[in-house]
Structure 1
């Protein structure tokens, strides 16, 4: 637990952040059953995931500045209400069209929870406390895709795929009640920003041109893209290349959570000791090392078996786990007056990178493990380039003074 942050706060904000990832990954084992019952092809059931991701990304750009204007609480609760309505529609959908409609409503609603968990953290905390809280949130977000497919498979096997949406319904109600009782409003009226639409657009432009935001934000987004590529490619690699069954694949994901957990605990301590910029640079190089090791194992003919995939994956995840909380805190800290908007743009960049990462890893004409290694390495290079520009700008500014 992050020092100085109440445990109830930490768990509630982490649950808000994880609800989006849970909503996406818990359905993975149920996609074949959905396709069969609703008479949908592969493209149709794939849209259950891709549409969710697209709507989720775009909705963040709206809910962030809206919360800066009217407060966090009404936007979070309105988003959770929309999520519940979409979940009920999905659970009762008689055809693919209504299922996709429900998924779109779900995504728009849960975007508020994800964005405003970060904004609420920024409203109340800063410095090492903020990095520690974001690290703990990140651990839970990493645990959600690790454990949710296993949970979804068990529920689907016992009760059918529609019952999976019942799990999401219960989770959203529980998270909403916890938010009302524990967190509540974190942005007082005196700090709210009543901007017209044009000013909001200009605010996004200003953030995109501000190196204090865009450099760590691009680094974090690049690493997030590689993480989602890992989620997309790993089940195929483990099942096709190593012959693992569904339960073993789920167990592999669950085991990787402990690597991310360790990184999330280390990140705030190292940031306090070494500085955020130094930790972020080291994290990016670790992510790059994971890509290099995986590329070597896949292309140089090393007969390492499952370890040849698992060890590089863990090295990458360690770097990712260090980069995400430190980079997120670095991107949000200078913008307390527009934390919702900054968090929204950061979330949009991350989800856009996630879409690119998953698309590229599926499209590259090479073995899936090699494609994943290439995406990891490319993402780390992009992140390092972004941070390198930040370091050069800082050096120039220091010399000028």
Structure 2
């Protein structure tokens, strides 16, 4: 395994992983101005998000296998080029249709970046090194949804909503240059697959039928769904406590340090007790966070403080779950790293989509609604991880 210059490689792959989160969350604070400027109704905000997420989810199913066939670099650079084109179309849009088309192209390009960040990690690292690298990548990646709303608010305030999309172009160009200089191609020609459509479908079916993939992958995806629900519900909760846009951005930025703390601990814990137990511990912590979040709705004097504690506890649990479950999911499938990464990414976004659709349908206070989703996700993930006839493997 190539591990030279690993800090630079890890920073690069974290940036690739974070690109989709950045593109999703940076537009949230400027969404009202964006919709008003294009003469659309407030209900158009949902399509602006879904046009990105839907294509992003499906695009991963194709980007991963294509990278297994043609190599990581050509698919990654094609994806970044599509992302830049989509950002340019969205930034120059004079109507809602052009904006949605640009956002869809952004989602397609981001799909390649997200899948290949995980596949390249699997190319370069294995075993304990893979778990450590994933911990670093996921902890750095967590900063994107934390700081993106604040960044979007500051850019939008200074230069308008279109500037947030131009900023995404600059980020993608920097990532492309860095990848060429730092990583290059990581999949040797001798290891590339020649999957046709039928073989590709059989490969996905085999992964879905394999508990060594599905059990940790479902735990990972369900946690990601709860995390997206947290991103969506927290601004509403904080506004209820009288917190403004910049304050909300600062809250997200500070809260991600809980993920950092957990991600640093996860590899050591996994080496000592095994990744499956680390995931189970993280799920238990997330369930505790759900109870604390409910308590914030019952406290008149200290509701905000209690919710802040709930958020920190939840994010600490996420910081344990995501790196351990990603390593456990991808570890046994070195020969199918791109395809396994693609399917994991699809499951993550499918879970996020379900969580965001369920969120407004629960007739409870926002914090209690979020707590319900977190608790349900943790319970379902624990069920997915329950011991079966075939034990979970170590992240080899």
Normalised-by-shorter TM-score class? over 0.9
Aligned partners of 1:279 and 1:322 also within 8 Å = yes
Deviation at 1:357, TM superposition (A): 1.1
Instruction: Say if 1:297 and 1:303, in contact at 8 Å, map to a contact too.
Output: no
Q: Does 1:362 align with 2:353?
A: no
- CA distance in 2 between counterparts of 1:338 and 1:191 reads 10
Which of 337, 340, 346 is residue 338 of structure 2 equivalent to?
340
Change beyond 3 A, Cα 1:13–1:152 = same
Q: Deviations over 1:55-98 (max 9, x none)?
A: 10000001111111111110000000111111111111111100
2:239 — aligned with what?
239
The corresponding residue for 1:324 is 322
Q: Matches of 1:96 and 1:337 in 2, distance apart?
A: 42
SS at match of 1:185: coil
Q: Is the 8 A contact 2:211 2:390 kept in 1?
A: no
355-364 vs 13-22, greater mean Cα deviation = 355-364
Q: Give the conservation status (yes or no) of the 8 Å contact 1:5–1:129.
A: no
Question: Equivalents in 1 of 2:112, 2:293: separation in Å?
Answer: 36
Cross-structure match for 2:303:
305
Alignment of 1:1-400 (within 5 A): 6-240=6-240, 242-298=241-297, 303-388=301-386, 391-394=387-390
SS in 1 for 2:388: helix
Equivalent residues of 1:296, 1:302 under 8 A apart: no
Q: Distance in 2 between matches of 1:375 and 1:154?
A: 31
Give the conservation status (yes or no) of the 8 Å contact 1:233–1:362. no
Matches of 1:293 and 1:250 in 2, distance apart?
22
Q: Secondary structure at the match of 2:385?
A: helix
The alpha-carbon distance between structure 1 residues 5 and 182, as it changes in their structure 2 partners (threshold 3 A), is closer
Counterparts of 2:161 and 2:376, CA distance in 1: 37
- Secondary structure of the residue aligned to 1:155 is helix
Query: What's the CA shift for 1:394?
Result: 4.2
Structure 2 residue matching 1:306: 3-state secondary structure: helix
- Give the distance between the partners of 2:330 and 2:67, measured in 1 at CA: 15
User: What SS class does the counterpart of residue 184 from structure 1 fall into?
Assistant: coil
Give the structure-1-normalised TM-score. Answer: 0.95
Task: Give structure 1 stretches of 5+ with no counterpart.
Answer: none
The Cα of 1:273 is off from its aligned counterpart by 1.4
Quote the Cα distance in structure 1 between the aligned partners of 2:293 and 2:260.
22
Structure-2 separation of matches of 1:37 and 1:251: 26
Tell me if structure 2 keeps the 8 A contact 1:147–1:254.
yes
- Match of 1:318, SS? helix
Q: How many angstroms does 1:302 deviate by?
A: 7.1
Work out whether residues 60 and 115 of structure 2, in 8 Å CA contact, stay in contact via their aligned partners in 1.
yes
CA root-mean-square deviation:
1.6
Deviation at 1:5, TM superposition (A): 6.5
For residues 5 and 289 of structure 1, do their structure 2 counterparts lie closer, same or farther at Cα, with a shift above 3 Å needed?
Answer: farther
Q: Is the partner of 2:356 in helix, strand or coil?
A: helix
Alpha-carbon distance between aligned partners in 1 of 2:296 and 2:5, rounded to the nearest angstrom = 42
- Alpha-carbon distance between aligned partners in 1 of 2:228 and 2:389, rounded to the nearest angstrom: 30
* Alignment check: 8 A CA contact 2:296 2:367 kept: no
Q: What TM-score does the superposition give when structure 2 sets the normalisation length?
A: 0.96
